[in-house]
Structure 1
Amino acid sequence: IKATIPERVDQLAGRRRRRERPCAFDRAVYRRRNVVERCFHRLKQWRGIATRYDKQPGRYLAAITLASTLIWLTA
């Protein structure tokens, strides 16, 4: 699995000192992952979605769609 979170400066210095290969880090992948994680965080603010209050898949999808639409309109 490729790393998507950058390494800390002290860890990079230790790798250089030990002459190890640094982990690959892709800034574009990290940005996209950050957007997705922020979206999930905003959706979890809705109690019904976070606790999976609606047990039927259709209703749960409708709740996610409604919450996503409202989040998109307020952003």
Structure 2
Amino acid sequence: MSELNDHPESAVYLNGVEPHDAPWPDNSAPTGDAAVDSALEPLSGISSLPVAEHSGIYVEIHDSLMASLDDEER
């Protein structure tokens, strides 16, 4: 099975911008739920971290959101 990255010439470009040059999306609008906003706070600096560290941040966010849901059920 070939990977998408094996064929860079076939990469899909969005608005003529190569994927590695695309700007990081800014979805920092508050949700209105303090627990969710607090859990999502680490996303504000994720673009400055190496990609290898992103999964750890996502795990922390997931765990924090799950803990908030568990607290609400009690």
TM-score (norm 2): 0.36
Indicate the structure (1 or 2) with the bigger Cα radius of gyration. 1
